[in-house]
Amino acid sequence: MPRFLTLADVAETLNISSAQTYALVRSGELPAIKVGGRGQWRVEAQALEQYIENMYAQTREFVSTHPFGKDDETGTNPD
C-alpha cells in the first residue's frame, strides 16, 4: 500500500462517497494534507488505519451502551 492515498482511494476503502470523505477531512475527523500546486488532498495510509480503529472503538462503545434490538437511527425496535 502506498504511504499516501487520494480521497477517491479512501472513499473506495470505506465504501462511502467522495463527498463524505471530503467532509471527514474538512472536519478534521480524518487527518489529511494538501499537496502540490493545486492543493490536492492526501491521507496517510496509517492515518486511515487509525481512523478505522477509532470507528471500531466508537462502535463497540455504542453497542455496549444501547439496548440490543433498537434501531440506531430512530431508537425504536425495527419489528
Sign of CA pseudo-dihedral 42, 11, 49, 5: negative
pTM of the predicted model, to two decimals? 0.78
- β-partners of residue 44 are 4
**Structural domains counted in the chain:** 1
Q: What is the CATH number of the domain that holds 60?
A: 1.10.1660
Sequence-ordered strand ranges (E) for 1-79: 4-5, 33-35, 40-44
Whether pLDDT at 70 is above 80: no
Domain span at residue 45? 4-65
Whether pLDDT at 75 is above 60: no
Q: What whole-number distance in Å separates Cα of residue 12 and Cα of residue 46?
A: 16
Answer yes or no: is 79 within a domain: no
pLDDT at position 1: 73
Answer yes or no: is 75 within a domain: no
- β-partners of residue 4 are 44
Answer yes or no: is 22 within a domain: yes
pLDDT at position 9: 97
Q: pLDDT for 7-53, tens place per residue?
A: 999 999 999 999 999 999 999 999 999 999 899 999 999 999 999 99
Answer yes or no: is 39 within a domain: yes
Answer yes or no: is 70 within a domain: no
